[in-house]
Amino acid sequence: MSSPLTFSSTIFSTPTCAIAVFHNAYLWALVVGFVLSFVLGFGMGANDVANAFGTSVGSNVLTVRNAFILATIMETLGAVLVGSNVTNALQEMLKRRLYANHPSQLLLGQLAILGGGSAWLMTATLLRLPVSSTHSIVGAILGFTLVMNGLEGVSWKTVVKITLSWPDVQTCTTTDDRLISALLLEYP
């Protein structure tokens, strides 16, 4: 009798078979996930970047071109340097062990989260509403988890930790802004 490890290593040691299994089972999810991620990224750029750089461009401190360049650099640095921390925190919101026997539910849920977050960001952008992409994704994760597993599916400790951090971020950025402004005014 072969062990699961032997079975999986035998199947996946043949590249053609592994690719065929992937194509048959998951390729559609990869394509849909890519499209939804692109739409989400577009919505983040259209909404979040406008929120962040609107005043700088409006007051002629930055040109639109320079704002785009700066936004691209900062978004990329943020994703590369601290993106994994954000991803880990968001993953902790749902109890993945509840999906151990139903991985397809988790896969569909992740696509629904991307779709819901993307749809909300694009709708808000079209309606000219300044919203947070982070709040959109947190809400989508909560919605999916509550629908699939009810109250027991949510790691409420993580949700509280995330939501309590939002006012802290505002306080820290306001304090930093005031300190930097004071320094710039004192030492131009």
Q: Is residue 178 part of a domain?
A: no
Among 32-46, 61-75, 88-102, which stretch is predicted with the lowest mean pLDDT?
88-102
Report pLDDT for 17: 62
Q: Is residue 175 part of a domain?
A: no
Report pLDDT for 16: 63
Q: Is residue 160 part of a domain?
A: no
Of 64, 110, 103, nearest to 87 by C-alpha is 110
Report pLDDT for 31: 92
Report pLDDT for 1: 46
The pLDDT tens digits of the residues spanning 174-183 come to 888 888 888 8
The parent domain of residue 148 ranges over: 4-154
Q: Is residue 66 part of a domain?
A: yes
The torsion angle over the Cα atoms of residues 181, 182, 185 and 188, rounded to 10 degrees, is -80
Mean pLDDT value across the chain = 84
Whether 37 contacts 114, CB under 8 Å: yes
Work out how many domains the chain is built from and give that number. 1
Q: Is residue 162 part of a domain?
A: no
Q: Is residue 115 part of a domain?
A: yes
User: Which residue's structure tokens are 């994703």?
Assistant: 79
Q: Is residue 98 part of a domain?
A: yes
- In the DSSP assignment, the letter for residue 158 is H
Q: Is the pLDDT reported for residue 32 higher than 80?
A: yes
> What's the rounded mean pLDDT across residues 128-132?
87
Predicted TM-score (pTM) of this structure: 0.73
Q: Is residue 56 part of a domain?
A: yes
